[in-house]
Amino acid sequence: MQLDVETFLRLVENAGTLGFVDIEANGLRGDYNSTLVVSVKPFNKKPISIVVAQPGNDQRVVREAKELLETFDCWVTYYGKGFDLPFLNTRLTKWGMHPIAKRPHIDMYFTLKSNLLTARRSQGHLLTWLGTAEQKMGVSASVWSECSAEPEKNLKILKARCESDVEGLEALYKKTRHLILEIKR
């Protein structure tokens, strides 16, 4: 039996198995960099965050993130098909673990890119343009560059940013849900 998009979204929203996902990493490539924070926000609930104890050793974080993500029936990300999920899978491979099992995955970046013609495509710009209460949290360059030197201080900031990102992502989803015409893995 095939479900239409509206029915599927209503089912996963009501079941609490729709999860908004974001990660923070200390770089863009999983072979040279590592995961710092993973936040997952169940629909209409508070974010759940997994944070490294020390930058560089993300084995526990990626294992726990995999376990958490696999409890959801559908994920929503913003450029997660291009970065977040491949990065996590690269780190899982590094630690000898299997990749995250595939799920229906709504990547709002690609959904909105193909349905809207805006001057900028960043999540922050779209949240501002749409006037949502949730906005993208800025983080200074020093937080990133000093994360290893002062992890206790800077990881708290990055956790707050990651949680802000999934809260903004849910707001973006709610404002533009009607533009989701198909859901792929």
161: domain CATH number?
3.30.420.10
pLDDT for 116 equals 96
The arithmetic mean of pLDDT across residues 46-71, rounded, is 97
Question: What spatial distance separates the first Cα and last Cα of the chain, rounded to whole Å?
Answer: 17
Planar angle of CA 109, 76, 18, nearest 5 degrees:
160
What is residue 32's three-state secondary structure?
coil
pLDDT for 184 equals 86
Work out the percent of the chain whose per-residue pLDDT is above 70: 99
pLDDT for 163 equals 98
Domain-embedded: residue 11:
yes
pLDDT for 3 equals 86
Structure-token pair, residue 48 = 């759940």
Using 50, 70 and 90 to split pLDDT, how confident is the model at 1?
A: low
Domain-embedded: residue 185:
no
Q: pTM here?
A: 0.96
Domain-embedded: residue 172:
yes
What is residue 165's three-state secondary structure?
helix
pLDDT tens digits, 102-116? 999 999 999 999 999
Contact 108, 76 (CB under 8 A): yes
pLDDT tens digits, 25-58? 999 999 999 999 999 999 999 999 999 999 989 9
Domain-embedded: residue 52:
yes
Mean pLDDT of the chain: 96
Q: Is residue 13 over pLDDT 90? A: yes
Domain-embedded: residue 93:
yes
Nearest alpha carbon to residue 19 among 34, 39, 2, 35: 39
Contact 121, 112 (CB under 8 A): yes
Domain extent at residue 65: 5-179
Contact 9, 177 (CB under 8 A): yes
d(CA 92, CA 115): 33
What is residue 78's three-state secondary structure?
coil
pLDDT tens digits, 119-157? 999 999 999 999 999 999 999 999 999 998 999 999 999
CB-based burial label for 149 (10 Å; 0-12, 13-18, 19+): exposed
Q: Is residue 185 over pLDDT 90? A: no
Domains: count for the chain: 1
Contact 35, 58 (CB under 8 A): yes
8-state DSSP, 184:
B
Domain-embedded: residue 184:
no
pLDDT for 24 equals 97
